[in-house]
Chains A and B, each alone.
Chain A
Amino acid sequence: MIESNRAAPPATSPRRRSVRQREALHGYVFMAPAILGLLLFTLGPVIASLALSFTDYGLLTDPEWVGLENYRDMIGEELFWQALRVSTTYSLVSVPLGLVAGLGLAVLLNRRMRGVTLFRSIYYLPTVISGVGVAMLWRWLFNAEFGIINVLLGFIGIEGPAWLTNERWALPALIITSLWGVGSTTLIFLAGLQGIPGELYEAAEMDGAGQLRQFRHITLPLISHVTFFNLVLGIIGALQVFTDAFVITRGGPNHATLFLALYLYNHAFKYLNMGYAAAIAWVMFIIVMLLTLLVFRSSALWVFYEQERQGKNA
C-alpha cells in the first residue's frame, strides 16, 4: 500500500487535477451543513422577510401585495416611535455603561493576587444563568414595598420608586438588570488585557509613567480591538432585548419598556400581522447595519491593530 502510494506520479499530471477535484468535492460535503443552514435559515429568510414586508399577511389568508404601505403605516404609528425611543435610550445608556464597567472590572480582575479566580467566577456567574428565572427574580427584587432594592435604599434613608410600575423608573430598572450581567463583557476584556505584553508596562514604569498614564497610553490603545468587538456585540444585543422586557415589565407601564423586539413580537404573534412584523424586522436590521457600519468606519480612528504596531517598530 505504502509503496504504491510513494510511487504515485508527480504533481503535474492529470491525476493531480482529479485529486484536487476530489478534495473540492469532499470540501463541499463538509461545508454542506453550513451552506444549507446559511440558505435555509439565514439568506432565504432574510430575503423572504423583505418580500413579506411589502405584503399584508395574516396567516389565514394569502399574502397580499401592498407595496410600501407597512412602512408608511409604521411612520404614522405612535407606538413604533415609542419602541424606537425605548430601544435607543436603552442602548445609549446600557452599552456604554457596560463597556466602562466591564473594562474597569477587568483591570481590577487582572491583578495578580490571591483569590482573584474566585472573584472572576462570581462576576461571570449571572451570565450563565441569565434567562427567565433571573428575570422573575429581578421582578421580585424590584418590588416597590418588599423588594430588597427598596429595602436597602430605605436603610440609607432613600425612599425607592415603584420601579416596575412607574413610567420613569421601569426602563432604568431594566438597565440595572443588564449591568448585573456585565460579566461576559468583563471576561472578554480580561482576555484582551492578558494579551498585552508585560514589558510594555515595565518600560513605561522605567520612563516614570504613573498608573493612569500607563492605562491611557498602553492599556486603552492595546485593548481597543476588544472594545470594538464588545461595542458591536453590545449594540446588536441591546437592540434585541426581549426576555427581560417580556417577563419583568411586559412592555409596560404605559409602553415605557416597549422594546422594538417586543413590538415586533406583538405584531407577529399577538395580532398576526406577519407583513407588518417583517417590516419592523427590516427596520431593525437596517438600524443595526447602519450602526455597525458607523462603528466600523470610526474604528480606523480609535482601534489600534497589532500589525500597525509591528509596522511602526520595523
Chain B
Amino acid sequence: MTTQRFRPPWWRSRRGQDALTTAAVRLVLSAGAVIILLPFFWMISTSLKQPAEVYLSPPIWIPSPPQFENYVTALTRVRFHIYALNTAIIVSTVMLGTMLSCSFAAYGFARLRAPGRDLIFMLVLATLMLPGAVTLVPTYLMFNAIGWINTFLPLIVPAYFGSAFFIFMLRQFYLTIPVELEEAARIDGAGVYRIWWSIIVPLSRPVLATVAVFTFVGTYNDFFNPLIYLSRDEQRTIAVALSYFSGSPRIGPQMHLMMAAVAASIVPPMVLFLGAQRYFVRGIVLSGIKG
C-alpha cells in the first residue's frame, strides 16, 4: 500500500498551531501591558515637564529637556524628609511586631496541644471576613480614651498582637516542618521558647520574608489609619502628606510637581517589588491555594 502521507500546511500542524497561539497570547498580553504601564509613563512624563508644557493639547509625550529639578523642588518645598522618617519609623516597627507576634502565635497553633486551641484558631481566621469598619469606631474611642491620638502608637501597637492571615500562613508552613527536628532539640534540653527562636524562626525565614514584604506594602500604602489617628503636619506619613499636596499652594496646582512627588513616593514599594518578587509570588500562591 503506498498511500501518500497527507502533510497539512505548517499553520495547521501541531507546531504551527502552537506558535500561532503563542503569538496571539503575546499580542493580547502586550496590549494589556501597555495599558497597565501607560499611567506610569504619563506620570513620569508629566513630572519632567515645565509648567507651560503640562496643559497642552495635543500633549507633549517626552519632555525635552527633562526637568529633573522638579523632583528636588517637590521634595524640598514640603518637609518630605520628615514624612519619610515618620513612615520609616512606623513601617519598620510594624514589620518587626508583625513578624514576631505572628510567628510566635503560629507556632502555638501549629504544635502545642492545648484545650480549645483549634476553636481559637478558627475564631482568629474568622476575623479575616470581618469588615474593618465594624471595629473602627470603638477602637478609635479606646485609643482616644487612653490618650494615644496624635501618637504613632495606634498604628504600631496592634501589629504586636498578631494578624490573622499571616498567622495562618506561618502555621501552614510550621505544620510541614518535621517534628523530629524539635524532638531532637528537646532531648538536648532545649525548652519550647528556645526551639521556637533558634530552630523554627530560622527555618521559616522565607515565609517570614513574605510576611515582611506584604506588611511593608500594606503599612506603607495605608492611608486610613494615619489619616484618622494623626492630625499634626509633623506626624504625617508619606501617604497622608501626599493627599494634602493637592490642596497645598506650594505644590497642588502644579501638576508637574504633584506627579514628581507621587513618582518619588512609589519608589520604595517598587524597589522592594523588583528585588523581592519571589516572596510576593509565594504569598499569593499560599493565599490562593489554601483558600
- A interface residues, Cβ below 8 angstroms from B: 1-2, 5, 20, 23-38, 40-46, 48-49, 52, 59, 105, 108-109, 111, 113, 115, 119-126, 128-141, 145-146, 148, 151, 180, 184, 187-189, 191-192, 195, 225-226, 228-229, 232-233, 236, 239-240, 242-243, 246-247, 260-261, 264-265, 268-269, 274, 277-278, 280-282, 284-285, 288-289, 292
Contact = CB atoms under 8 A, between A and B. Distances in A.
B223 interface: yes
A184 B277 CA distance: 13
Contacts of B132: 240
B120 A123 contact: no
Q: Which of B107, B134, B158, B161 has the most CB of A within 10 A?
A: B134
23 contacts: A30-B109, A31-B108, A33-B105, A34-B124, A37-B161, A38-B123, A42-B130, A45-B136, A45-B137, A49-B135, A105-B32, A125-B36, A125-B270, A135-B243, A136-B258, A148-B59, A151-B59, A243-B224, A246-B243, A268-B136, A281-B136, A284-B131, A285-B131
Interface string B96-138: 0000010011011100111101001001100101111111111
Contacts of B272: 128
B291 A229 contact: yes
B217 interface: yes
Contacts of B289: 191-192, 195, 226
Q: Which of B55, B136, B270 has the most CB of A within 10 A?
A: B136
B36 to A, nearest CB: 6
A45 to B, nearest CB: 4
Interface stretch (B4-12, B37-45, B64-72, B203-211): B37-45
A309 to B, nearest CB: 16
B133 A27 contact: no
A288 B109 contact: no
Contact of B134 (A45, A111, A187): A45
B112 A26 contact: yes
Contacts of A125: 36, 270, 273
Nearest to A243: B223
Nearest to B255: A140
Contacts of B222: 131
Closest 6 CB pairs of A and B: A30-B108, A37-B161, A27-B114, A229-B291, A27-B112, A131-B221
Nearest to A40: B161
B33 A35 contact: no
A85 B18 CA distance: 47
Interface string B160-202: 1111000100000000000000000001110011001000000
Given A1-B188, A24-B115, A188-B287, 17 more contacts: A26-B193, A30-B112, A33-B161, A46-B130, A52-B138, A125-B273, A128-B217, A133-B265, A137-B43, A140-B43, A140-B255, A146-B59, A148-B39, A226-B288, A268-B140, A285-B130, A289-B129
A288 B57 contact: no
B131 A240 contact: yes
Interface residues on B, range: 35 or more
A76 to B, nearest CB: 21
Contacts, number: 272
Contacts of B162: 33-34, 37
A188 B284 contact: yes
Contact of B137 (A109, A192, A226, A278): A278
A282 B134 contact: yes
B120 A34 contact: yes
B25 interface: yes
B266 interface: yes
A150 B148 CA distance: 46
B289 to A, nearest CB: 6
Interface string B45-61: 01000000011111100
Nearest to A124: B280
Contacts of B196: 30
B105 A225 contact: no
Nearest to A120: B281
A20 B113 contact: yes
A148 B112 contact: no
A274 to B, nearest CB: 5
Contacts of A24: 112-115
B240 interface: yes
Given A105-B32, A113-B22, A191-B288, A133 B134 contact: no
Contacts of B56: 146
Contacts of B160: 33
Q: Which of A20, A113, A242, A247 has the most CB of B within 10 A?
A: A113
Nearest to B160: A33
A122 B37 contact: yes
